[in-house]
Amino acid sequence: KAGVTQTPRYLIKTRGQQVTLSCSPISGHRSVSWYQQTPGQGLQFLFEYFSETQRNKGNFPGRFSGRQFSNSRSEMNVSTLELGDSALYLCASSLGNGVPGYTFGSGTRLTVV
Amino acid sequence: DQQVKQNSPSLSVQEGRISILNCDYTNSMFDYFLWYKKYPAEGPTFLISISSIKDKNEDGRFTVFLNKSAKHLSLHIVPSQPGDSAVYFCAASSGGSTLGRLYFGRGTQLTVWP
């Protein structure tokens, strides 16, 4: 069974640009969450989508947005990139009904220069 | 405001011995706790979880203990193996059966030496 797939794996962007990251969850999983990992802040929750609806949102500025499609695939977008947005962005999927543990993808490493 | 804390950034253990990783939390609304293991350049891998209605959960070499009064949980790995060397994250949720948002600790780097 395929795992959580995140594309691209690596990305270099310039300050002020925008970026879109993609996540394909495990087949049958309806919940997709996004996390940002940085050395200074650790793993920080961005948002969670369930059946195309945002169910939870973390404390990130409005420049960070996401969406989920009817096939459960999800995208997150960051506009007006700042140097501090450089991080590993992780996507995690689950059935969404309490089965223990999210399954994480390998992440997208975003570098803003 | 770090609601889940792992105060030991690193732990070094000899192969075959017990590894004990600790985690403290501040939010009494947390009702589900998870441990993840992470290798470099990979996403975190789910290890074991425990509901707040239990005080112990065991899965093979891994056992998680929960002390709600102390707001403390620990992960025991027995026996430790070199392949266990990784960063271990503790996470907590107040979402009940839907899990929802996870709050993570900063992680503990475990090194198991031969």
By the CB < 8 Å criterion, does A107 face chain B? yes
Q: Pick the more confident residue, B100 or A89.
A: A89
Residue of A nearest to B96 (CA): A98
Would you report the helix, strand and coil content of chain A in percent, each value rounded to 5?
Answer: 5, 55, 45
With CB atoms and an 8 Å threshold, state whether A96 touches B46. no
pLDDT at A1 over 70: no
DSSP B91: E
**The two structure tokens encoding residue A90:** 């992780």
Min distance B26 CA to chain A CA atoms (Å) = 17
Question: For residue A66, what are the β-bridge partners?
Answer: A76
Q: List all residues 6 or more positions away from A50 whose beta carbon is below 8 Å from its beta carbon.
A: A30, A31, A32, A68, A96, B98
Average pLDDT estimate for B67-92: 97
pLDDT at B97 over 70: no
Question: Can you give the pLDDT at residue B48?
Answer: 93
> How much is the mean pLDDT over chain A?
92
State percent of chain B over pLDDT 90: 85
Asked if residue A34 lies in contact with residue A74, where contact means CB atoms within 8 angstroms, the answer is yes
